Amino acid sequence: MRTIVLAALLAGTAATPAFAQNGAAFTGPRVEGIVGYDSLKSGNDDGDGVDTSDDEGDESIDGVAYGIGVGYDFDLGGVVAGVEAEYMDSSANQEADETTPDGLGFTSRVEAGRDIYVGGRIGFPVTPSTLLYVKGGYTNTSIEAGYETDSDSFEFDTNVDGYRLGAGVEQKFGTNLYGKLEYRYSNYTNIDFDDDFDLDDFESEDVGGPIDLDRHQVVASIGMRF
């Protein structure tokens, strides 16, 4: 009888779903370095109200995003849930010769600055060393911009709030090392510098106003889990 009981226990252990074991491989605190492609684009049909069709400018700016991230993950029995935070910067910038609806020519400059993200993720281990996950949370970024005519110039910088959604894959290498490949989309809807605009050559309604900004990033990470 004892032999039969032991055999049943062993059989039950062998039948335990692999997912429950896989989840434990992705738990605990982690820290990572992040780098990848960064693109910001006006989500409005008319962009910022200016015409860039006659030059090299357009309504998007591209560059390299880079920074660090930290997180903590929990095994919920076949599902991995975690909290995370990032501090990023970007080389994305653009300078272009533009024209207002009134026909006034000027030079514009836009640069992406630091980006802070706080959010969470839910993952599903598909092998003992591979995790597929989705994420979402709050993001705040800084934007620097300037306009210059023949006789005047204007510069401003602002911080804007938004949300971020993303998905990716995490691959475990050895005991503590891991890598990630991730796509994320961010949206910022409250960029408005009309109150600060002060350029003598044209009225503030000629350029500026609320801007709906979309951000697309594809990034890779290398990290350590402790």
Which CATH number do you get for residue 168?
A: 2.40.160.20
Does a structural domain hold residue 10? Answer: no
The CA–CA distances, whole Å, from 67 to 73, 82, 96, 152, 216 equal 20, 19, 27, 36, 16
| Number of independent structural domains in the chain | 1
CB 63 within 8 A of CB 216: no
Beta bridge partners of 192: none
The pLDDT score that the predictor gives to residue 65 is 97
pTM for the model stands at 0.76
Which range marks the domain in which residue 38 is found? 19-225
Alpha-carbon gap, residue 211 to 191, rounded angstroms? 5
The pLDDT score that the predictor gives to residue 158 is 82
Beta bridge partners of 65: 36, 90
CB 190 within 8 A of CB 158: no
β-pairing, 153-173 vs 80-90, is: unpaired
Mean pLDDT by 10 residues, the chain (226 residues): 42 44 85 97 53 49 96 95 98 78 72 95 96 98 80 77 97 95 91 53 50 90 96
Q: How many alpha carbons lie under 13 Å from residue 116 in its C-beta half-sphere?
A: 5
Does a structural domain hold residue 5? Answer: no
Does a structural domain hold residue 7? Answer: no
* Element of type H or E holding 203: none
Alpha-carbon gap, residue 195 to 67, rounded angstroms? 32
Does a structural domain hold residue 14? Answer: no
Does a structural domain hold residue 9? Answer: no
Does a structural domain hold residue 158? Answer: yes
Does a structural domain hold residue 2? Answer: no
**Contacts for 217 with CB less than 8 Å, ≥ 6 apart:** 36, 37, 38, 39, 65, 183, 184, 185, 186
